[in-house]
Each structure stands twice: as structure tokens, then as C-alpha cells.
């Protein structure tokens, strides 16, 4: 949540007061039996354990953990007040890195949404208590409505607090793009709540223990997925660095182009999956340079036609290397065409305007910007303002103006980590004399005529 403003505190306090006001009067009413309290305790425990399990589909958002199944089981078994009490224990959430304000808000939000779900269930004729065979299938409708109410109230309260605590645009875009998936997983877990209630009729509180097995297996698989993905990114980065060792001055170029492409992708509201793919494409855009002989890269004078052709071929070489990577379909086009220009004078195909794939138009901007703001053997790094000026000048002829403006906006919002100032290397063998990415210093080619 970051810093908590006064408005956010008032909002959180209002949610907590609402939660307390729905629970308090019922508890002062006729006392509940010991069985009720025992079930409440078990469901609270289940809620806490589930709350520490992030869902497969969204690791961060607290509203979407499988704990909703405990709340919805409480709706059937214990009624609105029980559901609110079960939700309220998220104050004690086992997940670390939660600020006190987040904990208090989570408790209030879950209690209010639990209560709302319970009231919906009762209002539509759901019977509170151990479900019996005769209750089915009629109980399914009030239960489904309760689950929907739970999601809607949760989402609404969450949306409100996000409005008050977050100001930056792109994260909201990302959240919106994953809402359908979140809803699907939440409905899946909501259904589990009804199963817990039904199993309770047969096996009592043991039902709660049994439910944990599939949940933890799903969590395990998701943990493995996250670990593999991290390992994957790190390996790719290490291999790209290895490719860059051939040229002292371009070290870190792949990583920065990847980051810049990601910034543009988020700024223009690209879907999360595509943003990820474009970051990989940015990382890999120059692997084909390895096919260019070192002596060509290190040549100081003008290039011969053949040497220039060897450089123009590098996107194709890159494509040849990464072609077999299955997931990168759109990314392949980005790598292949990242040196095309909007006016059709680029290479390797000479595509113009919309013929150039979107990924390539994004990567081209980040690529040129990083080249200009890095030190080269023939010049010092340019200042960012100069590089931006240069991008604007090239918009419409070399670059897609939309991508240029998106990049500049993203730069203002997120900033840019400039490469460390490269001191002249001791080893002259790893120096490139000309940079094919630099729009301010085009490659010099000997006129064959």
C-alpha cells in the first residue's frame, strides 16, 4: 500500500467500524452453543492457513487467496456473523511484509464481505447449519449469490482503497487485465466452500484438514512455477551477458533494452503476457550479432558492402538462434525487424509503417535510446535530454511516434538507470568501433561506385 494518506485512514476506519457494527449486536444476543464456537475456531484456523497460501493466479493480491472458501463455508455452517468473524481473523494474517494499516483493512474488508455474503445467503432462502441431502440442489442458488456478493463487496472495498493509496497508472492496467482470471479462480475457491460445508456433515471438522491437501499441492506447483520462471529469466540474462562479452561498450545493453521495451509495453497498456514476451525479445534482440565477425564490429574506417551486409544480417541470425523457443512467437518478429524504419529504409526487409510488427517498433525505440545514452569508443554518452530530442526528431521517419511518446512518458514516470560510465578498457580486443544501433552516427559504407 505504500504511504497511507489521511483519506485512506478515514476509509479504512469506516470499513472497520462497519465490520464491528454488524458483528457486535449479534454477539450480545442469545449465546451460541459450544459446537458453534468449535466450528468457528476450526474455520478461523483454516482461513489463516489458506490466507498464507497465495492463489496460483495472483501472488500478491490479498483479496484472492483461497481463504474465501473458509469464509463461504462459514456462511453455510455458521451464518452471517460467523462468516464475518472468520473473515476478521485476516488481521492476524500469517503473511509477512504486511503493514499494520493493511492488516486492519484486510480484517475489516473480509469481515464486511463475509457478512454481506451471509445476509445474501439467508435472504435468498439458504438454511444455516449442516447441509442435508434434501437441501441440494436448491441450496446452490443462494450459495452462488452469496459467493458473488462476497466477490463484489471484496472487489469494491479493495478498489476503493487502491484509489486512495495508489496514484500510478500502469499497475492498475495490469490488475484490470487479470481480473477475469482472478474471478475464475475465486469462483473455483468459492465452490470449495460449499464442499467443505457438505463434508462437515459427514466427517465434521476433519473436512477442513482434508481440503488443505489439494490447496497445498496447487501452491507447491505454483511455487515451482515461480522458481522456474525466476531461474529462466536469470539464465537468459546470464547467457545474453556472455554474448555481450564480445564487445566491451555494449555490456548491459540487452538488459537495458529489455527494461525499456517493458516500460513502453506497460505504458501503451499491453497485456501482461505480451509485456513479458517483449522483455524477453528485448533481451535477445542482438544475439545475432555474434554471427558478425569480430573484425567487422571492430573496424574503425568505413565498411565495405560485404561487411555492411554482414551487419544487416544480424537480425536474421538472431532469429535463427531463437526460432526454436516455443513461446516467443510475437517476440520472433520483434527480433527480426528491430532495425526496420517507419519510412521503409531499414533492414532486413525494408518494411514501412504498420508493416513493421508492434514488438519491433517498441524495441527499436528502446534500442536507439540506450545506444545514445551509453559511452562509445568514438564518443561520450549523450545526456538523456539530448537522446530524447533525437528520438523526437526521428519520430515518423525512423521511429513510430506513438512508441516514442510512450517511452518519454514512461521515462518521466519511472526514470531510467543509466549505464555505469564505461572507462576505456585495457583490452583493445573487445572494443567496437562503430555502433549499428546509434541513430546519430550511421554506419559508414564505402560507396562502391
Partner 1 sequence: MAIREADDRLPSWQAMDSGRLLLLAAVGMLVVAAVAHTAAARLTEPQTAIAFGSVIAIGELLRLRQQGGREAAPVATAAALAYALLLRVGALPGSQPVPHVAALQVITVTAVGMTVGALPHMAAGRPAGLTGMATRLVAVACVAFAFRPIAGTEIISGPGHWWIAFMVMTVLVVIGWLAEAMIASLIRADDLGARFSVALWDEMRIQLPLGAAVGVSAMMITFAAEVMGLAGLAVFMGPLLVTQVAFRRYAGISATYLQTVRALARVTEVGGYVESGHSRRVSRLAVAVGRELGLAEADLLDLEYAALMHDIGQLALPDPIPGGATVLVSIEDQRRIAELGADVISKAGVLDRVAELVRCQSWPSRGHDPEPPVGSRIIRAANAFDDLVGGSTDRDRTAAALERLRLDTASEYDPGVVEALSEVAGKRLASRLE
Return residues touching partner 1 (CB under 8 A).
Answer: 55-57, 131-133, 136-137, 140, 185, 187-192, 194-195, 198-199, 201-203, 206, 210-211, 213-215, 217-222, 224-225, 228-232, 234-239, 241-243, 245-246, 287-288, 290-291, 293-294, 317, 320-327, 429-430
| Cβ-based nearer residue to partner 1, 285 or 341 | 285
Minimum Å gap between C-beta 29 and partner 1 is 29
Got the DSSP string for 376-443?
BTTBPPPPHHHHHHHHHHHBTTTB-HHHHHHHHHHHHHH---PPPPPPPPS-GGG--SS-TT-TTSPP
Instruction: Compute the least distance from the CB of residue 213 to partner 1, in Å.
Output: 4
- Shortest spacing between CB 411 and partner 1, in angstroms: 28
Residue 102 burial by Cβ neighbours in a 10 Å radius (0-12, 13-18, 19+): buried
Q: What is the C-alpha to C-alpha distance for residues 418 and 422, in angstroms, rounded to an integer?
A: 11
Cα 221 to the center of its chain, rounded Å:
18
Judge contact between 365 and 400, C-beta under 8 A: yes
Least distance from C-beta 282 to partner 1, angstroms? Answer: 15
Q: How far is the CB of 388 from partner 1 (least distance, A)?
A: 32
Using the minimum distance from each CB to partner 1, give the nearer residue, 99 or 228: 228
Closest residue by Cα to residue 362 from 267, 440, 444: 267
Q: Is 26 left (phi over 0), alpha (psi -120 to 50) or beta?
A: alpha
User: Whole-number minimum distance, CB 407 to partner 1, in Å?
Assistant: 27
Residues 6 or more apart whose CB falls under 8 angstroms from that of 302 comprise 444, 445, 446
Whichever of 214 and 442 has its CB closer to partner 1, that residue is 214
Q: How far is the CB of 448 from partner 1 (least distance, A)?
A: 26
Indicate the residue among 85 and 243 with the shorter CB distance to partner 1: 243
Rounded-to-integer distance, Cα 163 and Cα 166, Å: 6
Q: In degrees rounded to 5, what are phi and psi of residue 57?
A: -95, -15
User: Is the CB of 179 or the CB of 242 nearer to partner 1?
Assistant: 242
Q: Which is nearer to partner 1, 389 or 420 (CB)?
A: 420
For the bound state, the minimum distance from the C-beta of residue 68 to partner 1, rounded and expressed in Å, comes to 12
Q: Which is nearer to partner 1, 167 or 294 (CB)?
A: 294
Cell 457478512 sits on residue: 115
Task: Identify which of residues 263 and 287 has a Cβ nearer to partner 1 in the complex.
Answer: 287
Q: How far apart are CA 237 and CA 255, in angstroms?
A: 7
Nearer to partner 1, 71 or 165 (CB): 71
State the minimum distance, in angstroms, from the CB of residue 291 to partner 1.
5
The phi, psi pair for 303, rounded to 5°, reads -90, 150
The backbone torsions φ and ψ at residue 397, rounded to the nearest 5 degrees and listed phi first, read: -105, -60
Q: Which is nearer to partner 1, 57 or 98 (CB)?
A: 57
Distance from CA of residue 113 to its chain's centroid?
Answer: 26
Nearest to 43 by CA among 72, 19, 22: 72
Residue 354, number of CB atoms within 10 A of its CB: 10
> Cell triple for residue 334?
520483434
Shortest distance (Å) from residue 437 CB to partner 1: 19
Amino acid at each position: 500500500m505504500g504511504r497511507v494518506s489521511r483519506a485512506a485512514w478515514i476509509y479504512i476506519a469506516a470499513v472497520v467500524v462497519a465490520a464491528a457494527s454488524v458483528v457486535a449486536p449479534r454477539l450480545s444476543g442469545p449465546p451460541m452453543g459450544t459446537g458453534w464456537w468449535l466450528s468457528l475456531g476450526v474455520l478461523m484456523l483454516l482461513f489463516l492457513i489458506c490466507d498464507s497460501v497465495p492463489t496460483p493466479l495472483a501472488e500478491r493480491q490479498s483479496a484472492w487467496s483461497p481463504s474465501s472458501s473458509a469464509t463461504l463455508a462459514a456462511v453455510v455452517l455458521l451464518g452471517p456473523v460467523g462468516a464475518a468473524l472468520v473473515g476478521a481473523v485476516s488481521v492476524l494474517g500469517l503473511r509477512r511484509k504486511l503493514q499494520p494499516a493493511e492488516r486492519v483493512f484486510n480484517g475489516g474488508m473480509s469481515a464486511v464481505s463475509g457478512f454481506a455474503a451471509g445476509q445474501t445467503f439467508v435472504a435468498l432462502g439458504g438454511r444455516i447449519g449442516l447441509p442435508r441431502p434434501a437441501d441440494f440442489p436448491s441450496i446452490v442458488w443462494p450459495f452462488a449469490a452469496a459467493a458473488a456478493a462476497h466477490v463484489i463487496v471484496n472487489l469494491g472495498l479493495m478498489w476503493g482503497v487502491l484509489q486512495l493509496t495508489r496514484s500510478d497508472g500502469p499497475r492498475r492496467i495490469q490488475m484490470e487485465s487479470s481480473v477475469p482470471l482472478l474471478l475464475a479462480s475465486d469462483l473455483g475457491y468459492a465452490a470449495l466452500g460449499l464442499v467443505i460445508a457438505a463434508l462437515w456433515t459427514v466427517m465434521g471438522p476433519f473436512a477442513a484438514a482434508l481440503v488443505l491437501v489439494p490447496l497445498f499441492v496447487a501452491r507447491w506447483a505454483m511455487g515451482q512455477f515461480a522458481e522456474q520462471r525466476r531461474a529462466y529469466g536469470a539464465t537468459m540474462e546470464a547467457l545474453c551477458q556472455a554474448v555481450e562479452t564480445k564487445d566491451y561498450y555494449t555490456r548491459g545493453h540487452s538488459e537495458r533494452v529489455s527494461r525499456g521495451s517493458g516500460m513502453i509495453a506497460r505504458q501503451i497498456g499491453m497485456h501482461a503476457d505480451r509485456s513479458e514476451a517483449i522483455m524477453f525479445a528485448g533481451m535477445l534482440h542482438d544475439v545475432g550479432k555474434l554471427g558478425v565477425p569480430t573484425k567487422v564490429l571492430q573496424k574503425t574506417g568505413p565498411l565495405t558492402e560485404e561487411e555492411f551486409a554482414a551487419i544487416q544480417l544480424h537480425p536474421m541470425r538472431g532469429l535463427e538462434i531463437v526460432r526454436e523457443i516455443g513461446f516467443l512467437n510475437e517476440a520472433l518478429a520483434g527480433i527480426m525487424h528491430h532495425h526496420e524504419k517507419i519510412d521503409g529504409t531499414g533492414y532486413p526487409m525494408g518494411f514501412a509503417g504498420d508493416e513493421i510488427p508492434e514488438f519491433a517498433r517498441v524495441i527499436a525505440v528502446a534500442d536507439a535510446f540506450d545506444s545514445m545514452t551509453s559511452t562509445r569508443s568514438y564518443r561520450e554518452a549523450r545526456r538523456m535530454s539530448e537522446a530524447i530530442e533525437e528520438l523526437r526528431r526521428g519520430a515518423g521517419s525512423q521511429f513510430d511516434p506513438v512508441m516514442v511518446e510512450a517511452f518519454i512518458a514512461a521515462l518521466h514516470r519511472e526514470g531510467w538507470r543509466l549505464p555505469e560510465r564505461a572507462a576505456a578498457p585495457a583490452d583493445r580486443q573487445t572494443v567496437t568501433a562503430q555502433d549499428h544501433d546509434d541513430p546519430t552516427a550511421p554506419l559508414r559504407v564505402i560507396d562502391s561506385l
